């Protein structure tokens, strides 16, 4: 059976896939309300929050738009050190916000010092940060960055894209003072694509009440009105919610700390292997992602040939993203991937290298 080492969508366990075949029920019913309340309670544990987690039938990009539409009248600071930081900036601009960029080179992290400088120069309503930049394999130091925001500009809301990290990396939403943390279903949570989730602080929800033109689909005040009744404003992705419930049980049964440690161990295995084989990770050691490794193609591997070699053995990895295509390749180690999967992949990769 094929095993995917791409950074989403990841492989989904058979019992989770099977849960999607459960029969439909009315989404305006006490039965569904109780079930939906249960998935939120479990999601709160994963997000490490005691406030709320919204569950929407959309992609992570949709939740990026929700954050921008609800939480900023005008002034946004977008931290950009990869493709998805750039996307959030584009979302802000396309929604008519006055968005400034704090840029770092692809492969570099956003540093607390540079963020402090930007916040000292101008007040911002929100700052957007991608926790784990899927395009570059860089993990931004969210805890330290959030401390800078709270110290220099305490009124600024902290918006975090954790699409390729939540569920594989510890993110202490409440303890770190994060206002909006979003993720989607198809990466570390190891679900099919089609749902996005966001933990939202009390002060963020209060801010949303004052922002005009929030739209309808992504209006957090409408989401909250329905959430407190254990429902959604729009028709939910019922089959995915059946799967979500099963997968959350598996995640919590593994134990969050165990899950985080497994992801970190797989990352270290891949990254040390790359270094030993003359292909350095793009990210510096202190900021390498625990969930996806972007490896520099220093040995001039023909990616199409490598891909064919791996596919013949039931595996696949990803080429570099955007401007990094063919200059890098990406190996995801997230979701339900285990160390023995990684070992099998690296053995196949070594067999390819031996023929070069």
Q: Locate the domains of the chain by residue range.
A: 3-9+256-354, 21-252
Buried b (16+ CB within 10 A) or exposed e, 89-106: bebbeeeebebbebebeb
Tokens linked to 340: 């023995």
| Tokens read off for 91 | 């979302």
Given phi > 0 = left and psi -120 to 50 = alpha, else beta, which region is 37? alpha
**In the structure encoding, which two tokens stand for residue 42, read together?**
């479990």
Sheet holding 126-130, edge to edge: 53-56, 196-200, 180-184, 157-161, 126-130, 75-80, 98-103
- Tens digit of each residue's pLDDT (9 = 90 or more) over 171-193: 999 999 999 999 999 999 999 99
Q: Which CATH number fits domain 21-252: 3.30.565.10, 3.40.640.10, 3.30.70.20, 3.30.365.10?
A: 3.40.640.10
- pLDDT tens figures, 73-119: 999 999 999 999 999 999 999 999 999 999 999 999 999 999 999 99
Task: Please indicate, yes or no, whether the overall pTM of this predicted structure exceeds 0.95.
Answer: yes
Compute the mean pLDDT over every residue in the chain, rounded to the nearest whole number.
Answer: 97
Please give the backbone phi and psi of residue 308, each rounded to the nearest 5 degrees, phi first.
Answer: -65, -40
Distance CA 279, CA 246 (A): 38
pLDDT for residue 147? 98
Residues 38-43: contacts with CB within 8 Å, 24+ apart?
38/245, 39/241, 39/244, 39/245, 39/248, 40/227, 40/230, 42/245, 42/248, 42/249, 42/252, 43/197, 43/248
Q: Which of 257, 347, 332 is nearest to 11 (CA)?
A: 332
Q: Which pLDDT value is given to residue 64? A: 98
Distance between CA 114 and CA 320 in Å, rounded? Answer: 27
The CATH class, in words, for 3-9+256-354 is alpha beta
Distance of CA 288 to the CA centre of its chain: 15
Q: Give me the pLDDT at residue 255, please.
A: 98
What is the predicted pLDDT for the residue at 126? 98
User: What's the confidence (pLDDT) of residue 356?
Assistant: 85
Helix and strand numbers, DSSP H then E, in the chain: 12, 14
């Amino acid at each position: 059976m094929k095993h995917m080492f791409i950074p989403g969508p990841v492989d989904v366990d058979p019992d989770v896939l099977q849960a999607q075949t459960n029969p439909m029920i009315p989404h305006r019913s006490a039965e569904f309300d109780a079930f939906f309340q249960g998935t939120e309670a479990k999601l709160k544990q994963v997000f490490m929050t005691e406030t709320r987690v919204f569950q929407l039938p959309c992609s992570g990009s949709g939740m990026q738009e929700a954050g921008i539409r609800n939480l900023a009248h005008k002034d946004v600071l977008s931290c950009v050190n990869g493709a998805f930081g750039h996307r959030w900036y584009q979302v802000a601009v396309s929604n008519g916000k006055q968005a400034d960029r704090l840029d770092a080179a692809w492969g570099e992290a956003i540093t607390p010092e540079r963020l402090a400088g930007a916040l000292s120069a101008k007040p911002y309503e929100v700052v957007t940060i991608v926790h784990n930049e899927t395009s570059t394999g860089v993990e931004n130091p969210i805890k330290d960055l959030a401390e800078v925001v709270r110290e220099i500009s305490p009124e600024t809301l902290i918006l975090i894209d954790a699409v390729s990290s939540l569920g594989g990396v510890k993110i202490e939403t409440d303890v770190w003072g994060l206002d909006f943390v979003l993720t989607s279903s198809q990466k570390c949570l190891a679900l099919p694509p089609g749902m996005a989730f966001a933990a939202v602080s009390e002060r963020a929800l209060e801010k949303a009440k004052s922002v005009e033109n929030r739209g309808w689909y992504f209006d957090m005040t409408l989401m909250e009105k329905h959430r407190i009744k254990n429902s959604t404003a729009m028709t939910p992705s019922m089959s995915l919610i059946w799967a979500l419930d099963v997968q959350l049980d598996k995640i919590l049964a593994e134990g969050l700390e165990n899950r985080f440690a497994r992801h970190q161990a797989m990352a270290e295995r891949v990254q040390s292997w790359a270094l030993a084989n003359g292909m350095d990770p793009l990210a510096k050691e202190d900021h390498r992602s625990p969930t996806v490794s972007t490896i520099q193609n220093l040995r001039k591997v023909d990616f199409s040939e490598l891909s064919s070699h791996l596919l013949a053995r039931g595996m696949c990895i990803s080429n570099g993203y955007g401007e990094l295509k063919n200059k890098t390749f990406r190996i995801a180690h997230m979701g339900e991937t285990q160390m023995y999967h990684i070992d099998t992949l690296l053995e196949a990769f070594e067999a390819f290298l031996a023929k070069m």
